[in-house]
């Protein structure tokens, strides 16, 4: 079975400091992995995706994530947090053999302090 675990329900950082949002997955075959961001009362926006090409994936707004098969991790990072980064972030693994079904982590709420 495939699943995804976001290790922190809340992360708080100061503006200008690095961001690390942690995600671990379990999969019986090579997964596709995504990070989505959701601002309050809004839909989800794709930040980046991994599809078995380069293991370091660059996304929008300065975010990037590294796929580490040996650690079954796909952590999201950003060198310097901005106030506008405050939102909820979802790590997602896909099931292409089941109608493109996505399995969502529970989410990590990022708070950015001034």
Partner 1 sequence: DGGITQSPKYLFRKEGQNVTLSCEQNLNHDAMYWYRQDPGQGLRLIYYSQIVNDFQKGDIAEGYSVSREKKESFPLTVTSAQKNPTAFYLCASSTRLAGASYQETQYFGPGTRLLVL
Residue number with CB closer to partner 1 (50 or 112): 50
Nearest approach in angstroms of CB 16 to partner 1 is 29
Which neighbouring-strand residues pair with 96? none
Write the CB contacts of 99 (distance below 8 Å, at least 6 apart in sequence).
none
Which neighbouring-strand residues pair with 36? 46, 90
Q: Give first-to-last CA distance, the chain, whole Å.
A: 41
Q: Does the protein bind partner 1 through residue 94 (CB under 8 A)?
A: yes
**17-76 positions binding partner 1, by CB under 8 A:** 32, 34, 36, 41-46, 49, 51-52
Binding-site ranges for partner 1 (CB under 8 A): 9, 32, 34, 36, 41-46, 49, 51-52, 90, 94, 96, 99-102, 104-107
């Amino acid at each position: 079975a495939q699943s995804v675990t976001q290790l922190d329900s809340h992360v708080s950082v100061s503006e200008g400091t690095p961001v690390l949002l942690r995600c671990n997955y379990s999969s019986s075959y090579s997964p596709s992995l995504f990070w989505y961001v959701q601002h309050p009362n809004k839909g989800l926006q794709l930040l980046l995706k991994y599809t078995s090409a380069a293991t370091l994936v660059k996304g929008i707004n300065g975010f990037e994530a590294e796929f580490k098969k040996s650690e079954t991790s796909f952590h999201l990072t950003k060198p310097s947090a901005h106030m506008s980064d405050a939102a909820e972030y979802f790590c997602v693994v896909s099931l292409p053999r089941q109608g493109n079904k996505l399995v969502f982590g529970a989410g990590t709420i990022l708070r950015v302090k001034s």
